[in-house]
Amino acid sequence: MKQVVLLIFFFYFFNVSIFFFAFLQVIGLADGRCFCQVTGDLDDCACDVETIDDFNNNRLFPKLQRLLESDYFRFYKVNLNKPCPFWTTTSHCGLRDCAVKPCSPNEVPEGVRASSHNKYSAAANEHQTDCEQENRLGAVNVSLSNETREALLSWNRHDDEAERFCVVDDEESPDSQYVDLLLNPERFTGYRGAEAWQIWNSIYEENCFKPFTIKRPLIPNVLHSSAGNDAKIFHSWLEGQCVEIRAFYRLISGLHASINIHLSARYLLDDSWYQKKWGHNVTEFQKRFDADLTAGEGPKRLRNLYFLYLIELRALAKALPFFQRSSFQLYTGKVEEDQKHKGMMLDILQLARSFPLHFDETSLFAGDEKEAAKLKEDVRLAFLNISRIMDCVGCFKCRLWGKLQTQGLGTSLKILFSGRQIEALPTSDIQGPAFQLSRQEIVSLFNAFGRISTSIRELQNFRELLAEEQ
């Protein structure tokens, strides 16, 4: 009996040792493979990786980073205390790096924390005092009853939600707080394991139009050795879907890839009593994106990141007329700075519009009008659901950046499919535009694209680090 037990133990130890040795060999050879397939044309697009790298890294990225440091874009109002609407969360992340420090009222510029009423209208701000004085002097009472006002607000919310692809937190809620994004950067917090897995599993399995019989590609390991075969079946299924379903999956995959790049680029390298040091973790990056370590999935995920970049870049280009209106202000209460930053923003939007190989959104939801409308609504509701899943993230810092980035992508989709409303924007400041963006949507739109732009730039850093190791 003892001999049998020893034989089984030796057999198990021998196989595990072979696997571990092979894994170390793969790690050692992985340096040049992360990017070997991330070149050339992108699927469903008339663009290539090299054009995006040059445009982003050399022209757009530096300007965008300077803009995002301004007061208007660095303060984001968010409700981090919403309960998870889909399952009961047992606990929140207890790690200190998961914490988010909200702003005290005096830290937020007065113009940002003031009521959003008339905030973006220069004419309205100029004449607000006159209007208030007129009301005090006994102008005709045209105020609405509370019931009517609530009904109008409800109608407006319904109209807004019909065009939205994501949940937008109520900025007037007492649970919503301003957060300084520069003081709460996205980086590795140690949040991982079953809870983090449940978030992404719910997103992919329940909201990406995939039948449960088709297994999505996972990182191969001893317990999951059929990853390569699963990947072939999955991608064969995906290629057989319509362009809209393929695009939806690639957007989610690209967002996932971007977040993983941020965590690898700002990884906790040293956590001692006297210092905390974050920096690039090449091994972590390889684990997530090397072709052999991910059964060929890593390079596909990086290509999906470039697809996501094109979608959000196209949205910025299309939104230019909305921001060009003289009535629109980046209102913080500091007039000279606000004008300067609006000029910087318009410069970035003009640059985005000058990109030579934009994604053509007219290729989506074309064909039969009723079928296209039904598919668009299905996609909108699926993405709306994903934005709600962000309230299930246990790590508050991860929740903050997850909510912001899904909201930013949702705002991009809203812009892409509101072309007619944007083209019909009135030139007069008197007539209110049919197309609207709240401050929360604007801040998330630019910061979400800032995260994607940063990811593209970080890929260049990882290329150089991998080359040095070779």
The per-residue DSSP string of 60-86 comes to: IHHHHHHHHTSHHHHEEEE-TTPPPSS
Residue 23: pLDDT band (50, 70, 90) is very low
Of the candidates 442, 431, 425, the one whose C-alpha atom is nearest the C-alpha of residue 330 is 442
CA dist list (Å): 314 to 253, 276, 437: 18, 38, 17
Of the candidates 438, 447, 403, 165, the one whose C-alpha atom is nearest the C-alpha of residue 328 is 438
Q: How far, in Å, CA of 356 to CA of 59, rounded?
A: 13
CA dist list (Å): 173 to 94, 122, 315, 404: 26, 26, 29, 17
What one-character DSSP code corresponds to residue 279?
E
Q: Which two tokens stand for residue 164?
A: 């939205």
pLDDT per residue as tens digits for the range 58-111: 999 999 999 999 999 999 999 999 999 888 876 566 678 888 999 998 899 988
What one-character DSSP code corresponds to residue 144?
P
pLDDT at 136 over 70: no
CA dist list (Å): 210 to 85, 234, 235, 314: 22, 9, 11, 27
72 against 419, higher pLDDT = 72
Residue type, 286: Q
- In the chain, pLDDT over 90 holds for what percent of residues? 51
What DSSP element (H or E) covers 270? strand 267-271
Which residues contribute to the annotated binding site for FAD? Answer: 187, 189, 200, 253, 256, 288
Q: Are 215 and 231 in contact (CB under 8 A)?
A: no
Q: How far, in Å, CA of 441 to CA of 78, rounded?
A: 11
Which residues contribute to the annotated binding site? Answer: 187, 189, 200, 253, 256, 288
pLDDT at 174 over 70: yes
Measure CA 82 to chain center: 19
Choosing from 98, 103, 166, 395, the catalytic residue is 395
pLDDT at 420 over 50: yes
Q: What is the CA radius of gyration of the chain?
A: 25
Buried b (16+ CB within 10 A) or exposed e, 282-308: beebbbbbbbbbbbbbbbbbbbbbbbb
- Respond yes or no: is residue 103 known to be catalytic: no
Q: Are 49 and 303 in contact (CB under 8 A)?
A: yes
Q: How far, in Å, CA of 418 to CA of 423, rounded?
A: 9
Determine which of 95-99, 144-148, 294-298 has the lowest per-residue pLDDT on average: 144-148
Q: How far, in Å, CA of 345 to CA of 60, rounded?
A: 11
pLDDT per residue as tens digits for the range 300-325: 999 999 999 999 999 999 999 999 99
Q: How far, in Å, CA of 299 to CA of 170, rounded?
A: 38
- Respond yes or no: is residue 395 known to be catalytic: yes
Buried b (16+ CB within 10 A) or exposed e, 98-117: bebebbeeeebbebbbeeee
Partners of 78 in the β-ladder: 177
Q: Which two tokens stand for residue 145?
A: 């009853």
pLDDT at 16 over 60: no
Q: How far, in Å, CA of 252 to CA of 308, rounded?
A: 8
Determine which of 117-126, 440-449, 451-460 has the lowest per-residue pLDDT on average: 117-126
Q: Which two tokens stand for residue 56?
A: 């982003």
- Find all residues with CB under 8 Å of 274, minimum gap 6, and list them: none
pLDDT (mean) for 173-184:
91
Of the candidates 334, 303, 216, the one whose C-alpha atom is nearest the C-alpha of residue 37 is 303
pLDDT (mean) for 348-372:
91
pLDDT at 10 over 60: no
Residue 344: pLDDT band (50, 70, 90) is very high
Q: How far, in Å, CA of 263 to CA of 304, rounded?
A: 17
pLDDT (mean) for 404-433:
83
What one-character DSSP code corresponds to residue 418?
-
Q: How far, in Å, CA of 413 to CA of 244, rounded?
A: 12
Q: Which two tokens stand for residue 336?
A: 């000279």
Q: Which two tokens stand for residue 127?
A: 């004449």
Choosing from 47, 98, 392, 398, the catalytic residue is 398
Residue 221: pLDDT band (50, 70, 90) is low
Q: Which two tokens stand for residue 419?
A: 């072309």
Question: What is the pTM (predicted TM-score) of this model?
Answer: 0.84
Residue 227: pLDDT band (50, 70, 90) is low
Determine which of 212-226, 356-370, 446-460 has the lowest per-residue pLDDT on average: 212-226
Q: Are 331 and 111 in contact (CB under 8 A)?
A: yes
Q: Which two tokens stand for residue 243?
A: 């362009």
User: How many of the other CB atoms lie within 10 Å of CB of 51?
Assistant: 15
